[in-house]
Amino acid sequence: MTAAKTSDKIKTIDELAKIFAGLKNQGKKAVLCHGVFDLLHPGHIKHFAAARREGDVLAVTLTEDRYVGKGPGRPVFNQRLRAETLAEIETIDYVAINRWPTAVETLKKLKPDVYVKGSDYADRSRDLTGEILKEEQAVKSGGGRIHFTDEISFSSTELLNVHFSVYHEEADRFLKDFRKEYSADRIIRMMKDLKKLKILVVGDPIIDEYHYCQPMGKAWKETVITSRYINRESFAGGVLATANHIAGFCGKVDLVTCLGEENTQEEFIRSKLKPNITPKFFYRDDAPTVTKRRYVDPAFLSKMFEVCFLNTRTPPAAVTKEVCSHLERVCPQYDLVLASDFGNGFIGSEMVKTLCGKSRFLAVNTQTNSANTGFNLITRYPRADYVCIDEPEIRLALSDKYGSLEEMIVRIAEMMDCRRVTVTRGHNGSLGYQPETGFREVPVLSKEVVDRIGAGDAYLAVTSACVAAGYPMDMVGFVGNAVGALAVRIVCNRESVEPVPLYKFITALLK
């Protein structure tokens, strides 16, 4: 086949829709396959041949690069290369790149007579995404049917994991050992069991604003950099993000936080909380709701400047008393109380005492930032069942810049009578500890970073639920780092880490 003929086979979705409509007018059957098709193998070739036998014309649509959730370094080949490779296959008449995360919209637009999937999708109970049922409904709504081939089956992901170096050396070594103890099915079952937990999340709300600006250069007469304003975007951050992350995995999540009456932004906050989160708002009249306004170069999401709107003092005594009274009454009702303490003033010493005294299981993170450096240490809490902080925060808490991290973790665990500790270490992964089994080190599982803001909140949320459920720390660290790998691909807190993408990512890692 010549290059020209190959390129002629690659169409847009709109062009393919017109071709399918024309085929139907001619009384011909149009067949569609859909997938990632990152590493073509004999199973794919046989699948396409079997699909072609179901009609007169076969088209294949493939997933856009940005929607491929197969793990680090995936897709190996970009969407254009994948499309060109598929177009070289004689059995395939047309190729198109899908514009949406799933095939549902494409199926509604194309209305194929037959939609063909592999035999591994025939068992609906094993479908992690729930998309097969939606796809089947979309096919039927257009007058078509779904067909499952029964050809020889391979997994592109498994072939890549076994025969190609898609992970960095440390992660590859870890995953080879981890796969001996855990399967993806086992971890996913454990994650789904988190639904039964009853969760209370307590902490500071933060409205994260990104004001996108394009630097133009130095002002002619001043020593300042002039930037051109483009647009802005607001996100529900802080404890709001923590609650949204954990609400994807747990059935009931309650939230306790404090808004500022100067600018509550309550309507925006309520609109951003997931439906299964029940908020209990308290209000202080001496502050705005915490807002962090960052000026960002959109090209690489480089942060140029930040302005904070906040009052870092604890709320007025009457408000603190009201909050503590509420917490004393409700904390014993929850399987997990998660204190997401950003040190922005909400959680004072009286609240710390109440949380430590009344929670059946308490998970704590104290964040160090520019507004509280040296004043919001994990040692503020006399006890916790799970501590999750980063390496600079534990070193600051113990005034130890260069000492052994393992020794510091043991010290914190003993000081706080804490049975589980995790220290996150950025590109060095994470280190988990429990006295019974010692230390568990998990490497970073992806080095593709879009935006680091909010990744720690995602890690804290999901690992806290896992620890409260009694899961072992090696599994907790693995899940936490997988969550972190997904979170750093999200701009700020534009969205949460959701179960289905996480389960697909875990499946890809452990094949």
Express as a percent the part of the chain with pLDDT over 70. 93
Whether the predicted model's global pTM rises above the 0.75 cut: yes
* Structural domain includes residue 172: no
Q: 220 Cβ partners below 8 Å, 6+ apart?
A: none
Residue 90 is assigned to a structural domain of this protein: yes
**What is the reported pLDDT for 224?**
87
Q: How far apart are CA 323 and CA 315, in angstroms?
A: 10
CA distance 458 to 452: 11
DSSP state of 9: T
CA–CA distance from 41 to each of 9, 74, 220, 349 (Å)?
A: 21, 16, 60, 61
456 and 321, same structural domain? Answer: yes
CB atoms within 10 A of CB 52: 19
What's the confidence (pLDDT) of residue 248? Answer: 96
Could you tell me if 346 and 422 lie in one domain?
yes
Same domain for 147 and 50: yes
Tell me: do 113 and 262 sit in the same domain.
no
209 alpha-carbon distance from chain centroid: 20
Cα distance between residue 123 and residue 148, in whole Å: 10
pLDDT of residue 163: 40
Supply the CATH number for residue 365's domain.
Answer: 3.40.1190.20
Residues 128 and 194 in one domain: no
* Co-location of 137 and 257 in the same domain: no
Helices (H), 11-78: 13-25, 42-52
Residues spanned by the domain of 490: 188-204+244-283+310-510
Question: Is residue 223 domain-resident?
Answer: no
**Burial degree of 196 (CB within 10 A; 0-12, 13-18, 19+):** exposed
Task: Give the residue among 389, 394, 383, 395 at the shortest CA–CA distance from 457.
Answer: 389
- Give the relative orientation of helices 184-192 and 499-510 as an angle to the nearest 10 degrees: 160
| Residue 193 sits in the same domain as residue 104 | no
CA 74 to chain centre: 16
User: Are 54 and 90 a contacting pair, CB within 8 Å?
Assistant: no
Residue 354's pLDDT is what? 98
Q: What is the pLDDT of residues 72-119, one digit of tens each?
A: 667 778 889 899 999 999 999 999 999 888 889 999 999 999 999 987
Q: Identify residue 133 by its one-letter amino acid code.
A: L
HEC per residue, 261-298: ECCCCHHHHHHHCCCCEEEEEEEECCCECCEEEEEEEC
Match 């170096």 to its residue by tokens.
165
Give bridge partners of residue 459 from the DSSP assignment: none
Give the three-class secondary structure for 452: coil
Q: Which residue has the tokens 């306004």?
A: 293
CATH number at residue 13: 3.40.50.620
Same domain for 443 and 496? yes
Which regions of the chain are under pLDDT 70?
A: 1-4, 69-73, 122-130, 151-167
The answer to whether residue 220 sits within a structural domain is no
Residue 374 lies in a domain: yes
108 and 194 part of one domain? no
On whether residue 386 sits in a domain, the answer given is yes
75 φ/ψ angles, rounded to the nearest 5 degrees: -75, 150
Q: What is the pLDDT of residues 372-398, one digit of tens each?
A: 888 999 999 999 999 999 999 999 999
Q: How far apart are CA 235 and CA 458, in angstroms?
A: 14
For the chain, what's the residue count? 511
- Please state whether 253 falls in left (phi above 0), alpha (psi between -120 and 50) or beta: beta
- C-alpha 400/C-alpha 159 separation (Å) is 45
Domain count, the chain: 2
Residue-wise pLDDT tens digits, 115-166: 999 877 766 666 656 678 888 899 999 999 999 887 655 554 544 444 445 5
Asked if residue 501 has a cis previous peptide bond (ω within 30° of 0), the answer is no
Q: Are residues 121 and 194 in the same domain?
A: no
Q: Does residue 120 sit within a domain?
A: yes
- Nearest-Å Rg of the Cα atoms of the chain is 26
Residue type, 85: T
Q: What is the pLDDT of residue 162?
A: 47
Does residue 352 lie in a domain region? yes
Burial of residue 504, with CB atoms counted within 10 A of its CB: 0-12 exposed, 13-18 middle, 19 or more buried = buried
If asked whether residues 401 and 497 sit together in one domain, one would say yes
Phi, psi of 239 (to 5 degrees): -65, -25
**386 and 333, same structural domain?**
yes
